[in-house]
A = this chain, B = another copy of it.
Amino acid sequence: MEKNRLEAFSDGVLAIIITIMVLELKVPQGLGASDVAALKPLLPVFLTYVLSFIYLGIYWNNHHHLVKAANKVNAAMMWANLHLLFWLSLFPFVTGWMGENHFTTAPTALYGAVMLMAATAYFILQNIVIAQHGRDSKLAASIGRDLKGKLSPILYAVATATAFFRPWISCCLYVLVALMWLIPDRRIERALD
């Protein structure tokens, strides 16, 4: 029952984050607000929204499998979960900032930095759940070397760095990480069966 409430709260926060992110797509105002041309400046905002939506979908998906695998909710897990939600809650801000400034240096770097922090927070949460099962458990075995989980933070760090001279490389890296994760995390699922 405790687990249910952790899931429900996380689902609530994720659902709200994913939805308020769309508020950055502001309805055009003023002269020419009803022309197709009024949508043009919104295109980068829209593309960033699509990217962040996919990221949050991936987090929700993996979070779902991870929490399902947890034995029990303890204080460490609750705080590790809130820590993850904190970094995810900054997605609408960095999404809006990057989208509205058409992928310039500072916003693109900050986007990567927040992605890096969120990935780190997820990594901590995952380790707490693994520790509950023990290092020799089926769960630990199924997550295994966790290649994707270890590669993502590295790619985010690289993308944050490349933003200072070639922001478009950073954007490609963000899309790459998203594509890499779109294949859902079946490892845990398999181990539990």
Count contacts on A: residues with CB < 8 A to the other chain.
58
B61 touches A97 (CB 8 A): no
Number of copies: 4
Q: Which A-B residue pairs are the 3 nearest by beta carbons?
A: A12-B15, A34-B101, A27-B96
Supply 15 further A-B pairs (C-beta < 8 A) apart from A9-B11, A61-B75, A75-B186.
A9-B15, A12-B14, A15-B16, A20-B20, A20-B23, A22-B93, A27-B96, A27-B100, A28-B97, A33-B100, A34-B97, A34-B107, A61-B78, A75-B184, A79-B184
A141 to B186, CA, bound (A): 32
A57 touches B79 (CB 8 A): yes
Given that A11-B5, A15-B13 are known contacts, is A92 also in contact with B22, CB under 8 Å in the complex? yes
CB-CB under 8 A from A1, the residues of chain B are 68
Which chain B residue has the least Cβ–Cβ distance from A65?
B2
A53 in the interface (beta carbon within 8 A): yes
CB-CB under 8 A from A79, the residues of chain B are 57, 182, 184
Given that A9-B14, A79-B57 are known contacts, is A34 also in contact with B104, CB under 8 Å in the complex? yes
Which chain B residue has the least Cβ–Cβ distance from A53?
B86
CB-CB under 8 A from A82, the residues of chain B are 53, 57, 60
Within 8 A of B (CB), among A1-52: 1-2, 5, 7-9, 11-20, 22-25, 27-29, 33-36, 38-39, 50
Within 8 A of B (CB), among A89-112: 89-90, 92-93, 96-97, 100-101, 104-107, 110
A64 in the interface (beta carbon within 8 A): yes
A110 to B75, CA, bound (A): 31
A106 touches B15 (CB 8 A): no
Q: How far in angstroms is the closest Cβ of chain B from A172?
A: 19
A32 to B127, CA, bound (A): 41
A2 touches B78 (CB 8 A): no
Q: How far in angstroms is the closest Cβ of chain B from A78?
A: 6
